[in-house]
Amino acid sequence: MTALSTTQNTAVGSAAWTVTTNNQAGYTLDLHASTDPALQSGLEQFTDYTEGTPGTPETWSVTSGYEFGFSAFGTHVPSGTWGSDTDCVAGANVPSATLNWRGFDGLTDVRIATSSSETGTSGTASTMCVATEQDGVFAPSGAYTATVTATATTP
């Protein structure tokens, strides 16, 4: 992601994982952050994205604060939960308006993809989008990091 500044209030980044399995029952793909909240710099931190209904992904919106959240897309990522885009951005450093976003919810696993059958030999990719925004206040300066682990399991 690019850095937030006094003139740039949003930033977007992404990471992708490809799951390959010959398990006929398929797989699940879960994410979790290593810290709570997820995005930190020393003693400073961004609030994990705050949904109107906790744990329910929604259209990106930050008011009077600075927050960090995520979304996902891909063949096995349910669009009813995560929205329907094939890109993380609506424009340069602006979170997609057709994806649904949420916070990491502490260290809890969050399912982003599921399949009830094996993948092809080249696997199936799922993309995690991350976004930050500062609205009405500036986030404290610093080099912020978030470590996110993706775990694929078979039933």
Q: Can you give 37-71 as a three-state secondary structure string? A: CCCEECCEECEECCCCCCCCCECCCCCCEEEEEEE
- What pTM does this model have? 0.95
Could you read off the pLDDT of 42-87 as tens digits, one per residue? 999 999 999 999 999 999 999 999 999 999 999 999 999 999 999 9
Confidence of residue 149 (pLDDT cuts 50, 70, 90): very high
State how far the Cα of 111 lies from the Cα of 49, in Å rounded to an integer: 17
Q: For 1-19, what is the mean pLDDT?
A: 95
